[in-house]
Amino acid sequence: MTKDSAALPLSNVRVLDLTRVRAGPTAIRQLADWGADVIKIEEPVDPATETEMGGMRLGPDYQNLQRNKRSLTLNLKDPAGLEVFKRLVRDADVVAENYRPDVKERLGIGYETLREINPRLIYASISGFGQDGPYARRPGYDQIVQGMGGLMSVTGLPGQGPVRAGIAICDTSAGLYGAFGIMMALYERERSGLGQWVQTSLLESQLAILDLQAARWLVSGEVPAQAGNNHPTMIPTGLFNTQDGLMTLQVPGQVMWERFCKALGREDWMEDPRFRMNRDRSQHREALNDLIEEIFATAPRQYWIERLNAAGIACGAVNTIDQAFADEQVRHLGVAWPVEHPQLGEIGLVGQPLRSDRHRASLRSIAPMPGQHNEEVLGSIGLSTEEITDLRSRHVI
């Protein structure tokens, strides 16, 4: 664990983080990992209480999402707490929140209010369904949006009904789009000198990452259906049994199809009218898959992976999570960040998948306990020890 953030790209950016649950913390974690000074602001609570995600503060979710942040407890419903927050806003670069749209206005911390204090402020809002419109005040969670946004309808095996994706994909995508929006606004501020209000939502982000499936509807009027482990348009693609385990395979385009046939010693498939072109293979997908699996069953998985990769054909093992992190390429890339935690011992956190030749994101501090940095943060804006003690006695912090 390194404590030096001065050399990281965002070390001159200060963020006031009001976000909760997953989408907002995901966005701000991107900034924190790259050096931003993130002050996580939360209500004064007993550290032993559950977090919004149902786990404890020493649990995997909290440790992974809240790293590289400082914690300030602050009751924004108290006028004194609100005044402290506004003092922090004066020198902040970013305020991020993911309340329901009406909550921030009730608290008196909406964008119009805060930009009067700091015209250079980037204000980032992540919501379930957007800041306005008929669903704006609805509670929005990942699973709900997966259903409403069409993702469940294209996930799972054909005929088995809609299936939830195995990760919180709506939260994660909204967080990443939110982080991108903040970076866009920070870059634009270099030219204009002004802040702006950046907004995204789980619903918009989920529709955006439908990408190909959304385009099939918007461009061609085609309603995509579940394809299971098969790719909806590239054939052959899917999971195949080998002699000793499952393998995943994708053969995109005609050139790769011909390479694949040669690698398996089945050049005759290239002239078979059932398989000659992608549209033909699409109509006879099941027959082709059965033939491929008959061949794959004759040798171990690693044999086929090495043989096909040598021919330029994309394939790989189907791993469990523990197997994925044990993979030699994953270990080489350093995706898991090792941590020596004072209470949990040796653990790992999910590292940044982005790098450059000049910078590498790092873990500088573990997830804080509530109020861990109260004195440090409040002292930095000029509050005396006596004033901080007074705020604590009145449960403002």
- Catalytic (active-site) positions: 171
Amino acid at 395: H
User: What does the DSSP 8-state code read for residue 138?
Assistant: S
Distance (Å, rounded) from C-alpha 34 to C-alpha 223? Answer: 40
Q: How many Cβ atoms sit within 10 Å of the Cβ of residue 310?
A: 9
Alpha carbon 2 to its chain centroid, in Å, reads 24
Q: How far apart are CA 257 and CA 267, in angstroms?
A: 10
Q: Per the structure block, which two tokens stand in for 46?
A: 């007993």
313 is written with which tokens? 């054909």
Quote the CA–CA distance of 195 and 316 in Å, as a whole number: 46
CB 229 within 8 A of CB 285: no
Contacts of 23 (CB under 8 A, 6+ apart): 98, 126, 142, 170, 171, 172, 174, 175, 178, 202
**Half-sphere exposure of 52 toward its Cβ, with a 13 Å CA cutoff?**
15
d(CA 153, CA 294): 31
In this structure, the number of other CB atoms found within 10 A of the CB of residue 168 comes to: 23
CB under 8 A, 24+ apart: contacts of 289-298: 289/230, 289/236, 289/238, 289/240, 291/266, 292/236, 292/240, 292/249, 292/264, 293/240, 293/241, 295/264, 295/266, 296/240, 296/241, 296/242, 296/243, 296/247, 297/241, 297/242, 297/243, 298/243
* Conformation bin of residue 248: beta by default, left when phi > 0, alpha when psi is -120 to 50: beta
Strands 345-350 and 336-341 turn out to be antiparallel
